């Protein structure tokens, strides 16, 4: 459909109803003028006609009339791969249909995010959709009374669980300041607890990573695994995945050994340290159940266990996360938890547009699902 050429205007509605364009404008903008008396019957007829004809208000004009830039700012992580692309596709499709323009910024650093917020405020942008930069925060798992294996300084070491939290007050203040100035805010995926209350003016659309971990555990239990492991990283989404996985196993009376990789920010993981982890896992009772909280670890896992004579899918059953394109080409194909990022992107854009229209909106959690392949 050509959304631009087929736009219904107030003039079209006026001609259909046999009234002036001014009358249509007053009705659709819910304005009442003392010297122009319009019956409720006429108002209902005009609104019904506009709906039947598929009229969409000129949101750009409304935003400008309210002193705001009609554009929507979007901040996403500078990550290669299909997930960010899916988010952009979901958001842009809804923005196009609703006649909104967007400007896209990306980055990983706190400076990138702060600059984005400052620019959005200076431009009086109508609203922003943003990933909160949780890469600046180290979140350690909430499970206590256990030992945690970390890769640090290129070797495998063991540490007691602890909590490290770099404060994010500067982000909260900047977001709240933007919101107080009339800008609408929708956060994506990784959401601070401060915004999770139902009365928060900041809304979010997030993939349910706790449910994803639970789905992975349930699947490996159903496949008859005897020992359970997880290789994960330090960030909020990874913490939620492992919490879901470990929690579901605990419900079934099963123990789980967790290996958290410390060196994620550099983009590379020391191979020697990974092999130390794999050597620990291979001693587990077979069939071993292994959950990878990111598909990116799948290739070195496959290479190692094949070299050790393991039959993947039989001796060790592996579930990844994100269902990246590479998973279907691995031999055997990697079972993975699929997050619906395009759906999340569309939901985020619909949410912020509804907020512009002063509609009551709720934050949303998008449920993942498992894509089963030969690795389990």
Q: CA 348, CA 254: separation in Å to the nearest integer? A: 37
**Residue percentage of the chain with pLDDT more than 90:** 41
If one counts the domains in the chain, the total is 3
Judge whether 192 and 172 are in contact, CB under 8 Å: yes
Both 224 and 274 in one domain: the answer is: yes
Residue 101 lies in a domain: yes
Write down the pLDDT at residue 7. 65
Both 274 and 353 in one domain: the answer is: no
Question: What are the pLDDT digits (tens) for 81-129?
Answer: 688 889 999 999 999 888 788 888 888 777 788 888 888 877 777 789 9
Both 51 and 69 in one domain: the answer is: no
Q: How many C-beta neighbours within 10 Å does residue 48 have?
A: 11
Both 193 and 246 in one domain: the answer is: no
- In 3D space, the residue among 75, 27, 35, 87 whose CA is nearest the CA of residue 55 turns out to be 27
Tokens (6 digits) for 287: 């069939």
Residue 373 lies in a domain: no
Question: What are the pLDDT digits (tens) for 20-39?
Answer: 988 988 888 777 766 778 88
Both 313 and 221 in one domain: the answer is: yes
Both 358 and 278 in one domain: the answer is: no
Both 174 and 269 in one domain: the answer is: no
Residues contacting 224, CB < 8 A, separation 6+: 287
pTM of the predicted protein model: 0.74
- Give alpha helix (H) positions in the chain: 10-17, 21-28, 40-52, 59-65, 82-97, 110-122, 169-180, 209-222, 236-251, 271-281, 298-307, 341-356
Write down the pLDDT at residue 330. 94
Domain that holds residue 253: 209-338
Write down the pLDDT at residue 357. 76
Q: CA 63, CA 71: separation in Å to the nearest integer? A: 9
Both 225 and 121 in one domain: the answer is: no
Residue range 125-146: mean pLDDT, rounded: 56
Write down the pLDDT at residue 271. 65
> Where does the pLDDT of residue 376 fall: very low under 50, low under 70, confident under 90, or very high at 90 and above?
very high
Q: CA 258, CA 249: separation in Å to the nearest integer? A: 12
Residues contacting 182, CB < 8 A, separation 6+: 66, 67, 68, 124
């Amino acid at each position: 459909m050509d959304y631009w050429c087929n736009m219904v205007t107030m003039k079209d509605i006026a001609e259909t109803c046999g009234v002036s364009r001014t009358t249509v404008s007053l009705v659709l903008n819910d304005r009442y003028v003392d010297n122009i008396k319009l019956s409720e019957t006429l108002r209902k007829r005009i609104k019904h006609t506009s709906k039947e004809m598929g009229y969409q208000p000129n949101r750009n004009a409304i935003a400008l009339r309210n002193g705001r830039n009609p554009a929507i700012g979007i901040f996403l992580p500078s990550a290669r791969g299909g997930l960010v692309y899916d988010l952009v596709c979901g958001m842009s499709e809804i923005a196009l249909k609703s006649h909104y323009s967007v400007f896209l910024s990306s980055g990983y650093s706190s400076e990138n995010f702060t600059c984005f917020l400052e620019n959005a405020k200076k431009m009086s942008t109508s609203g922003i959709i943003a990933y909160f930069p949780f890469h600046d925060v180290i979140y350690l798992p909430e499970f206590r009374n256990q030992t945690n294996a970390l890769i640090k300084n290129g070797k495998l070491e063991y540490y007691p669980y602890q909590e490290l939290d770099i404060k994010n007050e500067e982000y909260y203040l900047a977001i709240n300041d933007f919101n107080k100035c009339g800008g609408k805010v929708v956060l994506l995926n990784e959401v601070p607890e401060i915004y999770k209350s139902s009365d928060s003016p900041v809304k979010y659309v997030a993939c349910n990573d706790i449910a994803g971990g639970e789905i992975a555990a349930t699947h490996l239990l159903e496949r008859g695994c005897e020992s359970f492991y997880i290789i994960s990283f330090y960030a909020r989404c990874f913490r939620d995945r492992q919490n879901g996985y470990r929690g579901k196993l605990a419900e079934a009376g099963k123990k789980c050994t967790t290996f958290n990789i410390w060196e994620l920010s550099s983009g590379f993981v020391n191979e020697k340290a990974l092999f130390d982890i794999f050597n620990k896992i291979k001693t587990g009772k077979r069939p071993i159940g292994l959950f990878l909280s990111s598909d990116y670890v799948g290739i070195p896992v496959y290479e190692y266990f094949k070299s050790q004579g393991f039959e993947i899918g039989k001796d060790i059953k592996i579930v990844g996360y994100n269902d990246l394109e590479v998973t279907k080409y691995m031999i055997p194909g990697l079972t993975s938890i699929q997050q619906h990022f395009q759906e999340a992107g569309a939901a985020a854009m619909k949410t912020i547009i509804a907020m512009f229209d002063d509609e009551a909106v709720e934050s949303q959690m998008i449920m993942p699902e498992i894509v089963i392949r030969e690795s389990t």
